[in-house]
Amino acid sequence: MTVVSPQNDPRAGYVVYEESRRSSADRRLRRTLDLLHEAGIAARGAVVDPDPLQALRDALHQYAPVDEVIISTHPGAVRSSWLRAGLVDRARKVAKDIPVTHVEVDLASPRERSHVLVIANQTIVGGPLLEAIRERAQASPVDFTLVAPADQPGVQQRLNRALAELRHAGIEATGHLGDADPVTAALNVVHDEQVDEIIVSTFPAATSGWLRRNVVGRIESGAELPVRHVVVEASEAEGLG
């Protein structure tokens, strides 16, 4: 079996961060392949063109001969842009004599591992945030995605350090830079992936620009998901600058 995962275009923001788009597609693909392997199904995969129809054409050529095509979408045209664009019927024309099966996912079905999105920048290496992530990891099986809005110098170095510390602790975590606006960065990930919970880390109210802009409340309202707010004092956020 071959699984192809098209990259998504962000639905918000003026800057397209190619790394964030590919990171989201990579995570979706990795989770799918892990589940298939656990079920004893031999599978390989690739991150492909954002246009699903072009991705299908490329895959039919690259992985020929193909015996069957399975297309998975969100349920209904209201949730699925692919269905609104008539992808399934168009895919059947492209596939010609190859049978095409359409599967709509059940978004309410339980999953073995939850997915927690972490939004932080200057506080991303702060002790209270890393401890909150460790506590959540101990509660139940979970994957973490750390997204650092690209609005401050040194953000990539802080993100890399946070990921290294979590991996050293045995916690499954990936991450990337996001839109400079933390709300847009968070909602782009929620749009791209199935997220169950969100952790937002800021400085205290007296010094936090994010809190003055009601970032936590706006993320919670836009994502319609549980949001935990973790406060990190400046003295606890090591490696600033």
pLDDT at 108: 67
Is residue 177 assigned to a domain?
Answer: yes
pLDDT at 18: 56
End residue of a domain, out of 71, 104, 137: 104
Instruction: Give the mean model confidence (pLDDT) for residues 122-151.
Output: 93
Map residue 56 onto helix, strand or coil. helix
If one compares 17 and 206, the residue with the highest pLDDT of the two is: 206
Reply yes or no on whether the pLDDT at 15 is more than 50.
no
Tokens of 108: 């309410």
If one compares 106 and 189, the residue with the highest pLDDT of the two is: 189
Reply yes or no on whether the pLDDT at 12 is more than 50.
no
Burial class (CB in 10 A: 0-12, 13-18, 19+), 49: middle
End residue of a domain, out of 85, 104, 123: 104
Is residue 133 assigned to a domain?
Answer: yes
Reply yes or no on whether the pLDDT at 6 is more than 50.
yes
Q: Across the strands, what pairs with 142? A: 114
Do 195 and 138 fall into the same domain? yes
Longest dimension (CA), the chain: 65
Do 165 and 220 fall into the same domain? yes
Do 124 and 63 fall into the same domain? no
Reply yes or no on whether the pLDDT at 116 is more than 60.
yes
Is residue 241 assigned to a domain?
Answer: no
Do 41 and 129 fall into the same domain? no
Instruction: Give the mean model confidence (pLDDT) for residues 99-121.
Output: 86
Do 181 and 231 fall into the same domain? yes
Average pLDDT, the chain: 87
Do 72 and 120 fall into the same domain? no
Domain with 77 in it = 2-104
Do 119 and 96 fall into the same domain? no
**Band of pLDDT at residue 21, cut at 50, 70 and 90:** low
pLDDT at 14: 43
How far is the C-alpha of 86 from the C-alpha of 147, rounded, in Å? 32
SS3 string, 92-147, reads HHHHCCCCEEEEECCCCCCCCCEEEEEECCCCCCCHHHHHHHHHHHHHCCEEEEEE
pLDDT at 107: 67
Residues 6+ apart with CB under 8 A from 157: 239
C-alpha angle with apex 113: 110 to 114, nearest 5 degrees?
Answer: 80
Do 147 and 203 fall into the same domain? yes
pLDDT at 13: 46
Domain total of the chain:
2
Do 63 and 125 fall into the same domain? no
pLDDT (tens digit per residue) in 70-104: 999 888 877 788 899 999 999 999 999 999 999 99
* CATH code for the domain in which residue 76 is found: 3.40.50.620
pLDDT over 70 for what percent of the chain?
A: 89
Torsion of CA 24, 29, 31, 33, to 10 degrees: -170
Do 65 and 39 fall into the same domain? yes
Instruction: Give the mean model confidence (pLDDT) for residues 21-36.
Output: 78
| Helix 215-223 vs helix 182-192: crossing angle, to nearest 10 | 20
Is residue 155 assigned to a domain?
Answer: yes
End residue of a domain, out of 40, 71, 104: 104
Is residue 28 assigned to a domain?
Answer: yes
Instruction: Give the mean model confidence (pLDDT) for residues 124-133.
Output: 94
Is residue 128 assigned to a domain?
Answer: yes
Do 178 and 146 fall into the same domain? yes
pLDDT (tens digit per residue) in 217-236: 999 999 999 999 999 999 88
Instruction: Give the mean model confidence (pLDDT) for residues 196-218.
Output: 96
pLDDT at 19: 61
Instruction: Give the mean model confidence (pLDDT) for residues 176-203.
Output: 91
Residues 6+ apart with CB under 8 A from 236: 123, 126, 127, 128
Do 32 and 82 fall into the same domain? yes
